[in-house]
Structures are given as C-alpha cells and as structure tokens.
Amino acid sequence: MSESPKKLYIKTYGCQMNVYDSEKMADILGPHRYELTDDPTSSDMVILNTCHIREKATEKVYSEIGRYQSLKKERTAEGRQFILAVAGCVGQAEGGEIIKRAPYVDIVLGPQAYHKLPEMIERATRAFHINQMDKKKGKEYRKDKIVYADFPVESKFDHIPAVSDNPRVSAFLTIQEGCDKFCTFCCVPYTRGAEYSRPVGDIVAEAKRYVALGAKEITLLGQNVNAYHGISQSGQGVWGLGPLCLELSNIEGLERLRYMTSHPKDMDDALIQAHGDSPKLMPFLHLPVQSGSDAILKLMNRKHTVAFYEEVIQKLRHVRPDIGFSSDFIVGFPGETEKDFEDTLSLVERVQYGQAYCFSYSRRPGTPAAGIETQVDEEIKKERLQRLQTLIHAQQESFNQSFLGKSIPVLFERQGKRADQYLGKSPHMQSVHILSNGDNIMGQVHEIKVIEAFDNSLKGELQ
C-alpha cells in the first residue's frame, strides 16, 4: 500500500516574488508527496513565507509562530510529526535566533535556499523519529537545529522545478533577485543578497512552458527587475530587460507581458523603446519614486533626481502615449520638511498616476535610515499621509472615469460570486467585472465596453 499524501499549508506575506517562491516550494515538495491545503490545522507541514520590509515584521512573525505551538504539542503527544518552517526574508535576517526564541520551529531558511527543502525535511523527520525512540527510553529531547540562512554559491534556480503543472491564466516568472542599490530605508540587499539575473534561455523556456499550460499573461518579477542583465541564449554577451521583453513577445500564444518592480535609474533607452515596439508589453508601469524632493531622495540614496524621473516618464509617454503609471511613496522619511512633502505633492500633480501605494516611514531594523536622529513626528506623518492619499485617490478615480464608454480588451481570469459573473484585468491593471451571456470566457481576451467606473474597478459589458 502506497503512503498517503501529506498536507502542506503555506502562508505567504509580502510581495509577488514571495508568491512566486511559495509556488516553487509547493512544486519542490510535490514529488515528495506533499499536497497543498487551505487548512493549517489539518496539515502535516506549515511554511510561513515571510516578509521583512515593514516595521515590527519580525515580532508579527513570532506572534504567528506562536499560534502553532499548541498544535505542535498535540501532534507530538499523539506520536505524529508536524513540521513548522519559517522561510523568506525574516528567516534570512533572523536565522538561528528564531529557533532560540521558538524552539518548536523545525526549519529556518532564507529565500535562496528553497531547493534544499527536501533535505531539510528529511533531517527534521529523522530527528523526530530519533526523539520518539529516545522518549520511550526516557532520554532527554534533542533538537536538530536546521537553519539555512546563508547566501549559497549556487543558484536556487538550478535546482528547483521550472514550472508546475497547475494551469493559470496569469503567471509570475522571477527573472532577477537581489538588489545592489542600498536605499537607506530598505532591507532587501541584506535579506535577498546581491543582484542575480537568470540566463535568457532559462527564462524563455519557462515562459513557453507557462504558455503551453494556458497562460495568456506573464509578469516578470525581480526586486530590481529592470536591472536584469542575463547571459544571452547564444552564451555570447549579456541582455538587458528590453531585448528580453522583445524576445518573450515572440512566443506564440502569449498575449500580455508585464514586469515589476522597477528602479528609475535602470530604465534604459532599450527598455523604453521596447514599450513602443511590443504591443504585448502592457501600457501600465509601476515605477516607484518614493519622494518628490531631491533632498530626501539623496538621504534615501535613491541615485536619481526628480528631474531624471520625470524625463523617464516623458520618454515612455513619447513611445507609448496611452501608458499609465503607478508608484510608491514614503511619507515622513527622517529629515522630511513640509517643503519636501509639498514637493512630493507637486510631483504627483505633474505625473498624474493611475494608482499608487503610500506608506508612512517606519524603521526597518539594520537599515541606515533607522539610525537617523531627525525622525518625523508620528502625528505629522499621519497628517501628510492622509493628504497624499486624498490626492492619489482623486487621480485614480479620474483615471478610471476616463475609460467610461470606451471599448477595452480584458483578460478574464476567474469567476465572481455569481455563476455568470467574470472578473478580469484591463491592459492598465484595472479590475473589470462583467455579466456573461452564458459562455465560458475564462482565460480569454474579449473587448468590453466600460459602462461604470468605480474607485478601484470597472464594470463592462461584452461587445
């Protein structure tokens, strides 16, 4: 009789790259008889794929870990193994400290070590069985501390499955990891390591596999995705993101291509021109600026000025007039004056965003900005954030309203709450919902007429 499958629960925090990594961990463990479940209480293994980007992220992870302590005790008392693993950037940053504070955690691993999961599980299983035998003999419990928080020499992409067999309409594909920019507010260089770009041939092969499984849209991912510099398919020379996007646009069956997250400094002319040359490259770009003040950008070590950022915007609009933008803003960075903040509002007014993500500055442990003495008062940060969000909200509403009465192509990805309701995405990343005429339009691109526009979505009808 074959062994029954084990249940795996993965909780994912943070960015799309963590979503991609969680999918890959599930792919790695599939051949080892682990099946995904949505119920952690019925699982044999829980992986917390963590994010370290926000303040107090570590303490939130410890709080989440604590929820599984009683479950771990119950399973152990029954003689059944329950593996608890902490992965991701908190695992990278904290390492063995996690097991010291929470000894019921079995495995800690950083984002570069997912390919070692089967080996780690084997060690954890061996330790469990040894302790079960020792318990019967009255011996003291011994803990095997399984921690992989170093940056390995080999790439994890050389060891993990390229693509799972799970079909999806829209797929994520990581092409680059790490960052060499060292913005003073960011922990990514310390938790994800130096920039690494996958070879062009590997990326094209993975993209083709996704398309063969039914993907119509691929989003290329990287901590600093437009710093991509991968070995070409011939092995002679290095390609940037622009040539890579043009190559991927040639894949038959692929209808849409996106990438995120970008740094303004790495928007080179070849990538900008690709937006004009490839209709498959969608006309919506997330391009974080963080502040509209040159003084604050310098303190952030962003390596670009406001004028440079606006020049990039103008170049993109020249080659692709219908392009829209989203961005990230940090309000109340240490040393930010009222004038600095007003410069940010002025930039927002000039650019006119389709959407943006606005945050109050929060200290990330271990980053240079955390030690700056001129921290902005919390009440001031709160008031400035409200003013910025009000402006961004008005622009987003105006952006969506501008599509009223227009015909736009929508890629439908899933059904809504009603059987005849379908949800999809516009080229500009707007959520669109329609009522179908009974046909199954899942995974298809259809022209729809926008009949209503809301703050965060559009309503349409099939043409």
Strands 217-221 and 170-174: parallel
- Does the fold of domain 283-402 match that of domain 162-281? yes
Q: Read off the pLDDT of each residue in 194-212 and give the average, rounded to a whole number.
A: 94
- Tokens representing 375 are 């921290």
**Model confidence at 154: pLDDT above 50:** no
Whether the pLDDT of residue 43 is over 80: the answer is: yes
pLDDT at 165: 61
Q: Where are the domains of the chain?
A: 6-148, 162-281, 283-402, 407-462
CATH number of the domain at 162-281, out of 3.30.750.210, 3.40.630.10, 2.60.40.1530, 3.40.640.10? 3.30.750.210
* Confidence band of 143 (pLDDT split at 50, 70, 90): low
**Region of poorest pLDDT, from 57-66, 242-251, 266-275, 378-387:** 57-66
Separation CA 169–CA 174 (nearest Å): 17
Pick the CATH number of 407-462 from 2.40.50.140, 3.30.460.10, 2.10.77.10, 3.90.100.10: 2.40.50.140
pTM of the model: 0.76
Q: Is the pLDDT of residue 153 over 60?
A: no
Mean pLDDT, rounded, for 254-277: 97
Q: Give CA–CA dist 9/433, Å, rounded.
A: 30
pLDDT at 168: 83
Q: Are 448 and 463 in contact (CB under 8 A)?
A: yes
Give the pLDDT confidence score for residue 387 in this predicted structure. Answer: 98
Q: 125 is written with which tokens?
A: 């299983």
The per-residue DSSP string of 208-271 comes to: HHHHHTT-SEEEEE-TTGGG--EEPTTSSSEE-HHHHHHHHTTSTT--EEEEE---GGG--HHH
- What mean pLDDT is predicted for residues 380-399? 97
CB 331 within 8 A of CB 385: yes
Indicate the DSSP class of residue 369: G
pLDDT tier at 432, thresholds 50, 70, 90: very high
Task: Find out whether 157 and 202 touch, Cβ atoms under 8 Å.
Answer: yes
The whole-number pLDDT of residue 419 equals 79
What does the pLDDT look like over 112-142, one tens digit per residue? 778 888 888 888 888 888 877 766 666 655 5
358, 331 Cβ separation under 8 angstroms: yes
Write down the pLDDT at residue 439.
79
User: Domain 283-402, what fold?
Assistant: Transcription Regulator spoIIAA (3.30.750)
Question: Contact, 285 vs 325, CB < 8 A?
Answer: yes
Tokens of 443: 């995974």
Q: Which residue has the higher pLDDT, 198 or 16?
A: 198
Indicate the fold that domain 6-148 takes in CATH: Rossmann fold (3.40.50)
